[in-house]
Structure 1
Amino acid sequence: MNNGDNTAIFSTDIGVIALNGSVKIKILDFLKTGCKSFDEIVQHTGKAKSTISVHLNDLKSQNLLEEAIDSKDKRKKVYYLRCQYVACSQEPGMKHYNEMLDLISSPDVHSFGCLKCLFHAIQYGFRAHGVNCDPIMRKIGNDIGNSLSNNITSQEPASILQEMLNFWENNDIGSFTILEDDPIKLAVNNFFDCRSIPIKEKTLCSFAQGVLEGVFRAKMGKECVMQMVCKCDDTCDHCIFQMIKL
């Protein structure tokens, strides 16, 4: 994401906001993966606490982020996004887009599934034209997860997870492994064949994140964030998400 002085555009409940402050943009980028504490934000940005405090207040006043009490320590606060990152000129992704188009034009497209390749191409296409689709895909994932929850009858987390796993595998969505029960921690594998498509940059993590959040919010009746707890790239085998209840 943009760490320089270029403008990044964010969509909020009250309209579109353009930012050109590198620290603010870095903070919002850091919050893409989930809730972060004040100390984590300070450490990530390398700025003074007083500076970060001012930036957080500014971002909150613009409806770009929100704060909540840390469920693990009532004396502390955590911060999470209230906006969607729309565009930044430093993230074109044209190389990956062209690679995806080459794959679609080759006989290999049948081995991966034409519709899945088209789905990936659309995401790479957004990036190729300067649009970061991650927050949009997360929001769409939330809506899809909310709809998918109608196919799940359970209300308890363990039973919800088992029904989700069966549904994903039966419908060729992907699979996941339960790493921990409390808090819920999952390793999501090959979501919509994202590991099989021979393009280096992965784009579906935010979509999977949104789907999981949508299902859990609908079935448990509580706000939660599925925080990504590791960097996802072409060297890892799965995306790891951990639930944070708000």
Structure 2
Amino acid sequence: MGHSHNTMIFSTDAGIVALDSPVKLKILELLSQGTTSFDELVEQSGKAKSTISVHLDDLEKLNLIQEKNYPDDKRKKYFVLNSMCMAFSQRPLRNQYNRYLDNIGISELNDSSFIKHLFYTVRYGIEAYGVDPKPLMKIIGNDIGTRIGPGFKSDNLEGILDELIAFWNYHEMGNMSVVRDDKLIILIDNCSNMDKMPSLGKTLCSISEGIIEGILSSRLNLNYDIMETECFGTGHNRCKFVVEVK
């Protein structure tokens, strides 16, 4: 939780609640760190008691928080979070989403370019509207890698990596290379459309994680774990994947 979010969506026992009030979101952020008294909320938020009181009443009516009494002093009250943050909008991703919308509207896009822009528009549109697609994208990527794995011919790691490099380059998904350090590292330069991404402080290529993971695991009958540690989304000029066997 943080102040860079415009809207946050919470799940409660009564349903889904969307909030965009900075004061309410600040209160929920404070409560996410643990139970907090009224006076502590006033002090940490920097708002007047009357303001915090009004927002607490609203949050309680929305079933986002609960008010409780201290066992040793019924006159003193504290508040606890009664909800879970499900999603939040992020302005940098909304800007990126709008850029893809602009690109997809260009009439001279050819078929392959249109499909590529369609994928990225949907992917970043989902995140721009507040839903984190990374876990699901990795699962789907793993399913794809498992399904296309039988099309690879080699039955050893070195051979599969050579085929993977050729596959990645052939489909213009970036220039893949492999280096061996303390661990096996896969690098992708000119990653498809990632070089235009702003630095967002997080990795973005979860579907590539899944595809590589699915291909290696299905071909070699081992449980591989692929983790992206560098990305254009983290301010780097390439994508870096660490390969490990679980």
TM-score, length of structure 2 as denominator length: 0.59
AA at the equivalent of 1:200: P
In 1, Cα distance between equivalents of 2:118 and 2:111: 13
In 2, Cα distance between equivalents of 1:136 and 1:229: 18
Aligned residue runs from structure 1 range 1-246, under 5 A = 2=1, 22=32, 87-91=86-90, 93-106=93-106, 109-110=109-110, 113-180=113-180, 183-191=183-191, 193-195=192-194, 198-200=196-198, 204-230=204-230, 232-233=232-233, 235-246=235-246
In 1, Cα distance between equivalents of 2:112 and 2:234: 17
In 2, Cα distance between equivalents of 1:107 and 1:172: 22
Percent identity of paired positions between Structure 1 and Structure 2: 24
AA at the equivalent of 1:240: K
In 2, Cα distance between equivalents of 1:98 and 1:229: 26
- How far does the alpha carbon of each residue in 1:195-240 deviate from its partner, in whole angstroms, 9 at most, with x for none? 35x4436875111111111111111211121122335427422111
In 2, Cα distance between equivalents of 1:98 and 1:152: 37
1:89 is paired with a residue of what secondary structure? strand
2:225 is paired with a residue of what secondary structure? strand
Q: From the superposition, tell whether residues 178 and 105 of structure 1 become closer, same or farther in structure 2 (CA, over 3 Å).
A: same
Over the residues paired in the alignment, what is the CA RMSD in angstroms? 3.4
Relative contact order (alpha carbons < 8 A, sep ≥ 6): 1 or 2 greater? 1
In 1, Cα distance between equivalents of 2:10 and 2:178: 36
- How far does the alpha carbon of each residue in 1:96-154 deviate from its partner, in whole angstroms, 9 at most, with x for none? 21221112223574598111111110011101221111111111110111112111121
Residue ranges of structure 1 left out of the alignment (5+ in a row): 10-19, 25-85
Q: From the superposition, tell whether residues 229 and 125 of structure 1 become closer, same or farther in structure 2 (CA, over 3 Å).
A: closer
TM-score, length of structure 1 as denominator length: 0.59
In 2, Cα distance between equivalents of 1:3 and 1:115: 34
In 2, Cα distance between equivalents of 1:108 and 1:201: 29
Matched positions, count: 173
